Amino acid sequence: MDPRFRTVVLLLLFFTGAFMLRLVGLQVLQPEWKQKAMALTSDRQSIPPSRGLLFDRHGTLLVGSRAVHDLMVLPRMLPDNLDSTLAETAAWAGMTVEDLEAALTKAKRYSRYKTSRVRKGVEPEEHARMAAQLQYHPGFSFRTRPVRSHLHGVAGHLIGEYAEANADDLAGDPFYRLGDHIGRTGLEKVYELELRGIKGRASVMVDARNRVRDAERAAAENRPAEAGQDLQLTLDLRLQQLAEQLMAGKKGSVVAIEPATGEVLAMVSAPHFDPNLLVGAARGEHYGRLVNDPDKPLFNRAIKATYRPGSIWKMVQGLVALQADQIGPYTRFDCDRTIIGCHGPHTRDNLRDAIVHSCNPYFYRVMQRVVGAAEGDNRFERAARGLDDWRERVQAFGFGTRLGGRLPGTSSGNIPDSRYYDKVYGSRRWDFGTIYSIAIGEGELLTTPLQMANLAATLANRGWYRMPHFIRSVGNSGKPSGLGIRQETGVEPMHFEPVIQAMRRVVEDPSGTGRRARIDGIAVCGKTGTVQDEPRKDHSVFMAFAPQEDPQIALSVYVENSGFGGEWAAPIAALLIEQYLTGSIANTRRLRRILEADLSDPYPEPQAAGTP
């Protein structure tokens, strides 16, 4: 054998033997070192960042954070005699013995060497009591985390829910760990990445009694958490609060927009809920009650519900026909009630009067002209092509679209085209006489309250609008790009004047259907709508903007199953306009009437025998 090879082998055997002897000495002859190694552990904890705050347009804090404490357990640190003291430990933890046993069993099954949550959402007062006795309960510890605090309890549908991450969230993003929270709905979901911040890390070397060892070494691995970015919303807190108060005891929605910017000033879906109910340990109980409520308080009617627009739609019809040169401002039609029903003492209106009187036969004729202007071999072909051209013009107002879809679940409504009716009636087996109900905002036509408020903003701007949005700034970077993009309707500004003059008369004329929206000293332009919902009461609808010149607010109000449009929706709109433009409400009688109204019964009173 080569002497050099033999020397290498002998040296290798020598050092291996020496290492083995030293290892045996440490573990067998000097067992205290083994005990120390087993007792020491590196406990690395993730530090949750403070979530970004939410402010209203004036800088008032809407949503902050408060600290809650979760009771944690490290199974391998539990004492051997825990069974004998389980009742005492459960009482200290504020739990039943059964619940504590189940939580500990789950924690052990998950991992004996990782902390697991035993109880979540311990409030500060109880935490203080428990922390004073923590030293007598080895294996247990507290982990502090921030939860949402809605200071005014408003705009729950818009702001959304911040809830515990589920299995899909954990699998889809390594940022989240078991017990973390994530924006689940609304703006909390849309701006989750901006709001959540960056986690910190704290590493400590502790012994079996949780005493810190080698602090300097552990501190070198630490890093602080970075708070999430704050959001400034477009909401006006006082207007939002008033809108929610006015819609109490009612079902429906309110959407208010600043016409020049597209910023949403208020958004209410009624019935609404206090978003603080979905925060903390009692969240599950409250959520179950809200989900099972037949009035669906969690459903955001402002962006998801679709309604027939009713008479409000007649202004769109008039503008489309004016731009297509199918009518002029002084074009008159007979109020022929044999082709479609109408109401009120009028006989032969021009466009302005037809809007004021809400004349159904007039707008039947208007749409008939628009649809019938298309070319085709027969009336069916002409109707199909004319309808598709009409639909394209209507979509330029934002109808049939999600208006940017800045919130999850935003509906686009329904603006039917020829393919839609081909499926219903058969290909080219229908004409205008089949579909005329959409001329007056009924039939298959469906819109959202957000779209109707956007129509009010478009009218205020005389032919254009900015995409509705809810954010003024994110952190220090200002408004995100892509918000408030200007959209043109393709209708020339001059065509809006007769329509706006008519809207002013709707509110100001003694015979106007929107008289309840009149405000002394403020030029309100509006239009009522009464939407059928048989066998229940009609929906009360109103759309408006103000002032007539240099408009500052545009809004839509839907009050479900409450009757005539001018009865309830119009005065609610007036109160909101007055509050926003003047900062107060002078008409306290109007305010009291709305606040005291209970419109929860959707069915009309039966008529007495012999009543016409």
- What is the chain's percent helix, strand, coil content, to nearest 5? 40, 20, 40
Pull the structure tokens for residue 257.
């927009």
Given a cut of 60, is residue 306 above it in pLDDT? yes
Domain that holds residue 202: 44-81+89-233
263 shares a domain with 169: no
310 shares a domain with 161: no
Residue 22 located in a structural domain: no
Determine which helix (DSSP H) or strand (DSSP E) holds 31, and give its type and residue range.
helix 31-39
Residue 318 located in a structural domain: yes
223 shares a domain with 261: no
320 shares a domain with 196: no
Residue 24 located in a structural domain: no
pLDDT tier at 326, thresholds 50, 70, 90: very high
Pull the structure tokens for residue 479.
């408004």
246 shares a domain with 97: no
Question: Each residue of 592-607: pLDDT tens digit?
Answer: 999 999 887 888 765 5
Note the residue count of the chain.
612
Query: What whole-number distance in Å separates Cα of residue 565 and Cα of residue 47?
Result: 54
pTM of the model: 0.86
**What average pLDDT is seen over the chain?**
89
Residue 262 located in a structural domain: yes
Determine which helix (DSSP H) or strand (DSSP E) holds 86, and give its type and residue range.
helix 86-93
149 shares a domain with 178: yes
Place of tokens 């306009």: 577
Residue 35 located in a structural domain: no
DSSP 401: S
Higher model confidence: residue 301 or residue 205? 301
In Å, what is the CA distance from 17 to each residue of 4, 11, 12, 30, 100? 20, 10, 9, 18, 50
The confidence score (pLDDT) of residue 504 equals 97
Determine which helix (DSSP H) or strand (DSSP E) holds 34, and give its type and residue range.
helix 31-39
Which runs of consecutive H residues, i.e. helices, occur in 324-447?
A: 351-357, 360-372, 379-395, 418-425, 432-435
377-384 long-range contacts (CB < 8 A, ≥24 apart) are: 379/431, 379/432, 380/428, 380/429, 380/430, 380/431, 381/428, 382/431, 383/418, 383/430, 383/431, 383/432, 383/435, 384/418, 384/421, 384/422, 384/428
Residue 222 CB-density burial (10 A; 0-12 exposed, 13-18 middle, 19+ buried): middle
Residue 220 located in a structural domain: yes
The confidence score (pLDDT) of residue 510 equals 87
pLDDT tier at 145, thresholds 50, 70, 90: confident
What CATH number should be reported for the domain holding residue 196? 3.90.1310.10
Give the chain's domain count.
Answer: 2
Determine which helix (DSSP H) or strand (DSSP E) holds 558, and give its type and residue range.
strand 553-559
Asked if 269 and 300 touch (Cβ cutoff 8 Å), the reply is yes
pLDDT tier at 66, thresholds 50, 70, 90: confident
255 shares a domain with 191: no
Query: What whole-number distance in Å separates Cα of residue 556 and Cα of residue 570?
Result: 9
DSSP 497: H
The confidence score (pLDDT) of residue 212 equals 54
Q: In the 3-class helix/strand/coil scheme, how is 113-159 assigned residue by residue? A: CCCEEEEEEECHHHHHHHHCCHHHCCCEEEEEEEEEEECCCCCHHHH
In Å, what is the CA distance from 65 to each residue of 59, 311, 479? 16, 45, 23
Residue 2 located in a structural domain: no
Residue 12 located in a structural domain: no
Residue type, 204: V
The confidence score (pLDDT) of residue 125 equals 87
229 shares a domain with 241: no
148 shares a domain with 104: yes
Query: What whole-number distance in Å separates Cα of residue 400 and Cα of residue 411?
Result: 9
pLDDT tier at 609, thresholds 50, 70, 90: very low
Asked if 92 and 149 touch (Cβ cutoff 8 Å), the reply is no
What CATH number should be reported for the domain holding residue 532? 3.40.710.10
Q: How far apart are the first and last CA of the chain?
A: 125
Given a cut of 80, is residue 49 above it in pLDDT? yes
349 shares a domain with 255: yes
Given a cut of 90, is residue 90 above it in pLDDT? yes
Question: Each residue of 403-451: pLDDT tens digit?
Answer: 998 899 999 999 999 999 999 999 989 999 999 999 999 999 999 999 9
Question: Each residue of 256-281: pLDDT tens digit?
Answer: 999 999 999 999 999 999 999 998 77
Lowest mean pLDDT among 98-107, 199-208, 303-312: 199-208
Asked if 239 and 578 touch (Cβ cutoff 8 Å), the reply is no
Asked if 277 and 413 touch (Cβ cutoff 8 Å), the reply is no
384 shares a domain with 429: yes
Q: Which residues neighbour 603 within 8 Å (Cβ) at sequence distance 6 or greater?
A: 535, 536, 537, 561
423 shares a domain with 342: yes
Query: What whole-number distance in Å separates Cα of residue 476 and Cα of residue 52?
Result: 12
Pull the structure tokens for residue 41.
């552990």
Query: What whole-number distance in Å separates Cα of residue 507 and Cα of residue 594?
Result: 18
Q: In the 3-class helix/strand/coil scheme, how is 1-13 assigned residue by residue? A: CCHHHHHHHHHHH
The confidence score (pLDDT) of residue 570 equals 96
DSSP 562: -
pLDDT tier at 39, thresholds 50, 70, 90: very low
Question: Each residue of 218-248: pLDDT tens digit?
Answer: 566 688 889 999 999 999 999 999 999 999 9
